[in-house]
Amino acid sequence: MIRILTVCGNGIGSSNLLAMKINQVAKKNGIEVDAKSCDLNAASGESPDLFVTVDEFAKQLPQDKRITTVRSYADKKKITEDILPVLKELSKE
């Protein structure tokens, strides 16, 4: 199972919506993930398999961790285009 932490400024709205969308995309494609949301400050102390956020916050996350960015927190089509290749790659590891 791939452990994913979605990150936004407060960890309540945008990142929670993104986590739900990632869980949906993964389930539809037969990939087991556990996506949860988190605020930027708390994220620095976490060690998921993958951080997912927008470009603005990606630069503020620990750069020694695996980070991928999405173009939208809400647009499922864009999220799928951005995250599915990464999920497929991680599921093979």
| Per-position pLDDT tens, the chain of length 93 | 999 999 998 877 999 999 999 999 999 999 999 999 999 999 988 999 999 999 999 999 988 999 999 999 999 999 999 999 999 999 998
Cα(87)–Cα(32) distance, rounded to whole angstroms?
A: 9
Domain count, the chain: 1
- Could you tell me if residue 85 is inside a domain? no
Counted residue by residue, the chain has a size of 93
pLDDT of residue 21: 97
CATH number where 30 lies: 3.40.50.2300
- Could you tell me if residue 15 is inside a domain? yes
Domain range holding 49? 2-77
- Could you tell me if residue 90 is inside a domain? no
pLDDT of residue 35: 97
- Could you tell me if residue 83 is inside a domain? no
pLDDT of residue 63: 87
